[in-house]
């Protein structure tokens, strides 16, 4: 039986952290599941790490469906969340529902949608029709051109209040999980304490309910400058399996992220 959102909620209630990694294929899916990862995110980050693109914007719905099927075939226990790619949910709630159904049919148990209060009606529409939603605020890569680059969000009093308000609205709209990316640790802690649903951080400090990293980043495979919130778990491991196990263990123990990974 696969991990459920109820099981994740119980982890939070028992003060246990949730470990999440991105995954795009069956081989890694099996490895990550066996290493104790709780949730696999089929991320549109595949545009960067698999396709060599500069952004996630060119990733298609067919890409996401294909990679979701691959991950689902390699697992039978973990919860699978799949990103809805750019342009697949922004037009209307009906469009989002149609495309989310295709992703769930491919093997995901939940879809992830980027955006704050503007996505509230869509999330409510989907959840009322049986589509579990993971919301995503802070740095939202699909809005990278509008945001002006990959930079810290919520670092002013006004922008912090907007993110806190967005988080509360998204929970009320039915989101089951909230991802927070590249925001100050103090803000992420405040948001986490203000919600009853699990929060998953990436560059959002150690007070979130869980953590996620891009698989290629935590294995030290990504090219270019390493983001501050990334740790190379291969540096002290003899195998990929050991590196992933160490990541899961450090997240569970509250050791990762450390102060050096926070903003």
Active-site residue, from 13, 33, 98, 181:
181
Q: Which tokens in the block code for residue 210?
A: 């869980």
Q: Where do the H-state alpha helices sit in 2-156?
A: 5-13, 26-34, 46-49, 61-73, 93-105, 120-127, 144-147
**Distance from C-alpha of 98 to C-alpha of 96, rounded to nearest angstrom:** 6
Q: Which residue has the tokens 């699909």?
A: 142
Q: Which residue has the tokens 């495309």?
A: 99
Q: Which tokens in the block code for residue 70?
A: 């691959």
Tell me if 43 sits within 8 A of 235, measured CB to CB. Answer: no
Instruction: Give the DSSP H or E segment for 217.
Output: helix 215-218
Q: Known catalytic residue: 157? A: no
Feature table: binding site = 44-45, 83, 112, 114
Tell me if 201 sits within 8 A of 212, measured CB to CB. Answer: yes
β-partners of residue 201 are 180, 211
Feature table: binding site for Mg(2+) = 44, 83, 114
With b meaning 16 or more CB within 10 Å and e meaning fewer, what string describes 112-122?
Answer: bbbbbeebbeb
- Phi/psi at 179 (5° precision): -90, 135
Inter-CA distances, 189 with 65, 195, 197, 206, Å:
33, 10, 13, 8
Catalytic (active-site) positions: 181
């Amino acid at each position: 039986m696969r991990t459920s959102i109820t099981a994740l909620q119980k982890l939070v209630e028992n003060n246990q952290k949730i470990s999440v990694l991105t995954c795009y294929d069956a081989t890694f899916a099996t490895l990550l599941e066996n290493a104790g990862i709780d949730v696999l995110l089929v991320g549109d980050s595949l545009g960067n790490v698999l396709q060599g693109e500069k952004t996630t914007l060119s990733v298609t719905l067919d890409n996401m469906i294909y990679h979701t099927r691959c991950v689902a075939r390699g697992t039978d226990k973990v919860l699978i969340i799949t990103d809805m790619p750019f342009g697949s949910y922004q037009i209307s709630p009906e469009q989002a529902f149609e495309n989310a159904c295709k992703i769930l049919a491919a093997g995901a148990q939940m879809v992830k949608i980027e955006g704050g209060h503007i996505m509230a009606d869509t999330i409510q529409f989907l959840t009322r029709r049986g589509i579990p939603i993971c919301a995503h605020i802070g740095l939202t890569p699909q809005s990278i051109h509008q945001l002006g680059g990959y930079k810290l969000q919520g670092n002013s009093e006004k922008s912090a209040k907007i993110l806190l308000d967005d988080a509360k609205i998204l929970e009320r709209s039915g989101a089951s999980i909230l991802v927070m990316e590249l925001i100050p640790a103090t803000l992420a802690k405040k948001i986490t304490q203000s919600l009853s649903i699990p929060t998953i951080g990436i560059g959002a400090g150690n007070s979130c309910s869980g953590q996620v990293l891009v698989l290629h980043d935590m294995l030290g495979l990504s090219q270019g400058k390493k983001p501050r919130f990334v740790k190379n778990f291969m540096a002290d491991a003899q195998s990929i399996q050991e590196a992933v196990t160490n990541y899961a263990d450090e997240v569970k123990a509250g050791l990762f992220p450390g102060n050096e990974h926070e903003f």
